[in-house]
Amino acid sequence: MSGKVTELESLLVPIVEALGYRCWGIEFLSQGRHSLLRVYIDHPDGVSVEACATVSRQASAVLDVEDPISGDYTLEVSSPGMDRPLFTLEQFAAYVGEQAKIRLRVPYEGRRNFQGVIRGVEGDEVVLQVEDHEYLLPIDSIDKSHIIPRF
């Protein structure tokens, strides 16, 4: 996890939690002069558009004061949705048995993209079964991951 994401989490997680939601995860995509800050919030009863707007207003106020992002950026607040991204070992553990897509920061055995069934967590690694092979992927090497919804 980048230092910038850690810094943003320290500012934003307390705000999200104070409003009665869980901060599912934060993505920060630096795109030259314009960046994107995406905050995923979750709640057992679901997340409404109004909830996203409330969190967005509160987060914007704190970000304006603290000013952790240089240059222009867009703030997006949303629910994780059915194809929810996975950020932590605890989240992977909660979705054992589900299909997931994982992209690594650097190739492992010649590939960066994996799709398979989450089998569990061992230490700081995610166990992913791809066809008849199990991969142990260190959480620190995962760039992006998300659940593949079943319909």
Calpha distance 36→28 (Å, rounded): 6
β-sheet bridge partners, residue 98: none
Instruction: Render 101-128 in DSSP notation, one character per residue.
Output: EEEEEEEETTEEEEEEEEEEEETTEEEE
Q: The tokens of 72 are what?
A: 């222009």
**pTM of the shown model:** 0.89
pLDDT surpasses 90 at 32: no
Q: Please classify residue 33 by burial: count the beta carbons closer than 10 Å to its beta carbon, then call 0-12 exposed, 13-18 middle and 19+ buried.
A: exposed
pLDDT surpasses 90 at 78: yes
